[in-house]
Structure 1
Amino acid sequence: MLHADQLPGRTLLAADGRQYLFCSGTGYLGIARNPAFAELLAEGLARYGTNYSSSRNSSLQLRIYDEAEQYLARYTGAEASLTVSSGYLAGQMAVKALARAGRFEYAPGTHPAAWLADHPALVGAARTFDEWAQHLLHRLHHEAPHPVVIVSNSLDALRVQRYNFGWAQELPTDRPVTLLIDDSHGFGLIGRGGAGIFTEVQVPASVRLVVVSSLGKACGIPGGVVLGDASFVGSLRRSAFFAASSPVVPAYLYAFVHAQALYQQARQQLATNVQRFAEAAPAALFQGAEGFPVFYTPANSLADYLQQREVLISSFPYPAPTDLCITRVVLSALHTPADVEGLASLTTDFARQQIYDELKGN
């Protein structure tokens, strides 16, 4: 474990004075270290201050919240959106509002932000996502028509798999059904113009689609968002949960609304980096998804190999310290072509060394 006194960007200066190429974290678009975004944030801070210490339902209404939420709805194709201070809060607000909407069904690997209980029974944990989805459809179509709330991530960001939601079109229409998707790792990256999964998922007209997401990953905003139909989002806005929760710092929403050209530039740079690494790195070593900037490997020793060569990647037990180690290379829009090519070269050398060691062992 390394310690540092500053936030990493393209590189990390560790407390011991060594500098590493930083290929970890979830700041995929590099917004936290984007100078142009910092200027927009400075404008927002000058206008709104460092924090808004009040309820969104107070007698003072800052127009930036309506402006940002209207933009998010247009951007994603949702009828309405609601911002809160974190992605975790967005997930919890949504599931608490749906607590009496039906029996909860959880997809494998569903993030704790979308859990209704502390440790729900993850029925599909032993299945792949596709197996779970088909099993769920079979059960729903062969049981009494009780209301159901289906909860899932939009993708597996750990072992890097994009989920296919084509099955959602076959959900039953003879009962109330809600599909709640956590798009925290996809929002800002996947979908049309990085708008996430909302418009990519097709459901019958009777099925309610709700998407929750962190804004703190690709978008670099300390906040979260709930996307859905106007009725559901309106009920959240009127809830005590919303009234009692802290809002997003308005200066960040100001920067977000005015930074869309920066986001587009960053997405283009990131797409180039992802393609370059996917073409140059050893395919047998990694599992990835088209266009996604994370590359999973079961070879946990890659982390030590790269750290010795001043490259820091993501490698730690997740989500609990007792869980298996998850090792991944994470690219960002901040990485240069030389960074990506050098990293790919090192992973190729590592793969060759592994093959040599295996042959030598035989």
Structure 2
Amino acid sequence: MSESVTGRTIDNFEISHLPNRTITHNEKTYRFFSGTAYLGLPQNPSYHRLMLAAIGQYGTVFGSSRNGNLRLSIYEEAEAKLASSIGAEAALTVSSGMMAGQVVINWLRGQSVTFVYAPNAHPALWHEPVVKLPSMSFDEWTAQLSNQLQTLPIGPVAILTNSIEAVRSDYYDFSWVSELPDDRPIILVVDDSHGLGVLNQGRGIWPKISHKPNVRLVGTASLAKAMGMPGGVIFGDTDTLTNLRRTAFFGACSPMPPANLAAYLQADALYAEGYERLQQNILLAEKLLLPTGLFRHATGYPVFFTEQDDLYAYLLDHDILVYSFAYPTANDRANTRIVISAFHTAEDIQELAERVGGFKLLK
């Protein structure tokens, strides 16, 4: 299968092993700078050993509803730790980040809310198959948000946004939350899939968002990125999460594998080690890549975005595979970015920088 990227038709890379700092394709080795395993947990042998022990106790999957009459205590134990790790009152795990968003959206539909979307809000937060998102910058959107809310029908409003522009590597300023109007109930839903485990010492965006009496904060996130687990999580106050758990949508969905949560409870040192290694790698990449002037980059974040889409083909010719494909739909423009992970070595990043420097000289 092939697709066009910036005018060049290439074969998609299909491999039969987990991507690590390198991948092998057609008997050729490439350095790998893509994916979202920011802390490198899926590639970490020590984490594998925790998983093997946990599978011995919990098996590979729990084939039951979380609301059934037989329950595994590991879910509540892990959810309490997840909530405490970011400073939230409560947490609820589900089978994926997409499911986390849709559990919340399904519940909001029953609250007769008016949906207000931020630019580039993730499809996990969409209340319909196709949602028209604002065609403006995040800062422009926040500047007119309060006025927009005044024009909406009386009743509760749900504001839905990502925590960060992960594709183009831009931070979002959430100071606007404190300026939201006080005269109506507001539910602020923030997808922190690309911030959890990475931003603010791993706590994600939650501690950075102001709280107002009339604004109910709900966070959602994929755990399959920095956290290295196949699942999703919802953060919020206890009443909200109790209401979510009572919905048929939640009760009918399969839970995430309990073994992953058991491993998570034992992996504090591995998460801390992965976080520190990631920070060191980001600092090195910033030092070597940013002087080229090719990248848009949020300081301290592991993504380096470029408008120079032909960098992808150049690096591929030099045995380096970076992110470059249409997202979130096949009809969207392909974007090119370099993703740094905790599993990279200093030598990997230095080799990448040398190749990027060679590309720069051709410009």
* TM-score range normalised by the length of the shorter chain: over 0.9
1:18 matched to 2:37? The reply is no
Deviation of the 1:2 alpha carbon = 1.7
Supply the distance in 1 between the matched residues of 2:255 and 2:156 (Cα, whole angstroms).
Answer: 32
CA shift for structure 1 position 67: 0.4
1:114 matched to 2:122:
no
2:351 to 338, 342, 355: 342
2:350 partner SS: helix
Residue 245 (structure 1) aligns with: 253
Q: Hey, what's the Cα distance between the residues in 1 that align with 2:236 and 2:325?
A: 34
Which 4+ residue blocks in structure 1 deviate beyond 3 angstroms? 141-146
- Give the aligned length: 350
Q: Which runs of 5+ in 2 are unaligned?
A: 1-11
SS in 2 for 1:98: helix
Residue correspondence of structure 1 range 1-362 to structure 2 within 5 A: 1-14=12-25, 16-99=26-109, 100-122=111-133, 124=134, 126-141=135-150, 145-191=154-200, 193-281=201-289, 282-354=291-363
Counterpart Cα distance in 1 of 2:153 and 2:324: 45
Task: Report how far residue 51 of structure 1 moved.
Answer: 1.1
| Native 8 Å contact 1:85 1:223 kept in 2 | yes
Moved more, 109-118 or 279-288: 279-288
What is residue 359 of structure 1 aligned with on the other side?
none
CA 138–223 in structure 1, closer or farther in 2 if over 3 Å, else same? same
Q: Distance in 1 between matches of 2:153 and 2:98?
A: 33
Query: In 1, Cα distance between the equivalents of 2:180 and 2:154?
Result: 12
> Offset of 1:23 from its aligned partner?
0.3
User: In the TM superposition, what is the alpha-carbon distance from 1:283 to its structure 2 partner?
Assistant: 4.2
TM-align CA RMSD = 1.2
CA distance in 2, matches of 1:290, 1:42: 36
- Give % identity: 43
- Aligned-partner Cα distance in 2 for 1:164–1:298: 23
Please say if residues 82 and 225 of structure 1, whose CA atoms lie closer than 8 Å, have aligned partners that are also in contact: yes
Deviation at 1:121, TM superposition (A): 2.6
The CA deviation at 1:61 is: 1.3
Q: Partner letter of residue 225 of structure 2?
A: K
Q: How many angstroms apart in 2 are the aligned matches of 1:303 and 1:107?
A: 29
Letter in 1 for 2:351: G
Structure-2 separation of matches of 1:60 and 1:146 = 39
TM-score w.r.t. the length of structure 2 is 0.94
**What runs of 5+ residues in structure 1 fail to find an aligned partner?**
355-362
Q: CA deviation at 1:327?
A: 0.3
Separation in 2 of the partners of 1:217 and 1:101? Answer: 32
**Amino acid of the structure 2 residue aligned with 1:330:** V
Would the alpha carbon gap of residues 322 and 141 (structure 1) be closer, same or farther in structure 2, given more than 3 Å must change? closer
Aligned twin of 1:360: none
